[in-house]
């Protein structure tokens, strides 16, 4: 997202100290969050394998070094305390074989972002036919433009690749894109609410590398119209993504 890296200014964890007390701070934090939600996403999962350490007072993130993270020992310890972890691994960015090996050892689902799929490479790992079932498909994340905004800002060549794959024209792009996500092999599909509502770039949640105007978007009830409710209800039913306690009648009458 940034040629000079992202400089957050966060202090580094003292992993050796944390290991000595059984990662107590992490265990308490994970236990609490799992009282509040059903599924947790570990942002920057790759940092558990190795993380980018930048000297204090650096003006960019360019002059850093890779430092080994706590690895499998961390997850084994947390699982002994909490049991099976309902966790998503945010495995985006510079992902090495070591990061992928750690994710597989821990048994966590990785993320597949549809907006990353259309570079013309048939081996692109984000294309739905290359996606493994033990994953989670997103149209985009909080760091991406909305899907409608992303599509609108594509160069003509890239836009043609998307339209050819979806079999669509610009007028019905978003519905086809949502169908592609819902119909992916992934066990779980997550759609940002801006995409449910069909919103453009003005409603983007976050722009990496910037420090203003982010995380200010708010939903207002009038945005969720009947046709949007009916479409999501239909896709949820048609692609078998309804939980057992959820019933959809006539593609929109939800009970």
Clarify whether 234 is annotated catalytic.
no
* Rounded Cα–Cα distance for residues 36 and 240 (Å): 26
* Rounded Cα–Cα distance for residues 112 and 240 (Å): 19
* Rounded Cα–Cα distance for residues 216 and 70 (Å): 34
Catalytic residue among 81, 143, 175, 234: 143
Catalytic residue among 90, 91, 145, 163: 90
* Rounded Cα–Cα distance for residues 214 and 206 (Å): 5
Clarify whether 35 is annotated catalytic.
no
Token pair of 67 as six digits: 């430092």
> Would you tell me how many other CB atoms lie within 10 Å of the CB of residue 163?
18
Clarify whether 90 is annotated catalytic.
yes
List the one residue out of 9, 8, 29, 10 whose CA is nearest residue 18.
Answer: 29
* Rounded Cα–Cα distance for residues 243 and 255 (Å): 12
Please list, in sequence order, all residues whose beta carbon lies within 8 angstroms of the beta carbon of residue 133, skipping any fewer than 6 positions away. 185, 186, 187
> Would you tell me how many other CB atoms lie within 10 Å of the CB of residue 138?
26
Catalytic residue among 43, 73, 101, 227: 43
Q: Using alpha carbons only, how large is the chain's radius of gyration in Å?
A: 20
Range list of β-strands (E), the chain: 40-42, 50-53, 65-68, 87-89, 110-113, 135-138, 188-190, 248-249, 253-254
So which residues are the catalytic ones? 43, 90, 143
């Amino acid at each position: 997202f940034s040629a000079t890296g992202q400089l957050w200014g966060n202090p580094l964890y003292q992993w050796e100290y944390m290991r000595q007390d059984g990662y107590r701070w992490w265990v308490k934090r994970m236990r609490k969050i799992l009282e509040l939600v059903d599924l947790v996403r570990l942002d920057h999962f790759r940092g558990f394998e190795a993380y980018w350490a930048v000297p204090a007072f650096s003006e960019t993130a360019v002059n850093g070094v890779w430092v080994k993270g706590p690895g499998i020992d961390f997850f084994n310890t947390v699982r002994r305390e909490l049991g099976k972890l309902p966790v998503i691994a945010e495995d985006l960015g510079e992902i090495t074989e070591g990061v992928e090996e750690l994710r597989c050892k821990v048994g966590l689902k990785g993320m597949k972002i549809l907006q990353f799929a259309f570079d013309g490479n048939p081996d692109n790992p984000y294309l739905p036919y290359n996606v493994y079932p033990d994953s989670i498909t997103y149209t985009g994340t909080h760091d991406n433009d909305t899907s409608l905004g992303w599509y609108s800002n594509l160069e003509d060549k890239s836009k043609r690749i998307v339209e050819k794959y979806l079999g669509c024209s610009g007028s019905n792009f978003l519905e086809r894109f949502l169908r592609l996500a819902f119909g992916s092999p992934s066990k779980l599909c997550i759609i940002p609410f801006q995409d449910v509502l069909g919103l453009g770039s003005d409603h983007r949640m976050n722009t990496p590398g910037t420090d203003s105007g982010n995380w200010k978007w708010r939903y207002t009830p009038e945005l969720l119209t009947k046709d949007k409710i009916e479409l999501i209800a239909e896709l949820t039913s048609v692609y078998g993504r309804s939980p057992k306690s959820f019933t959809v009648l006539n593609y929109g009458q939800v009970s």
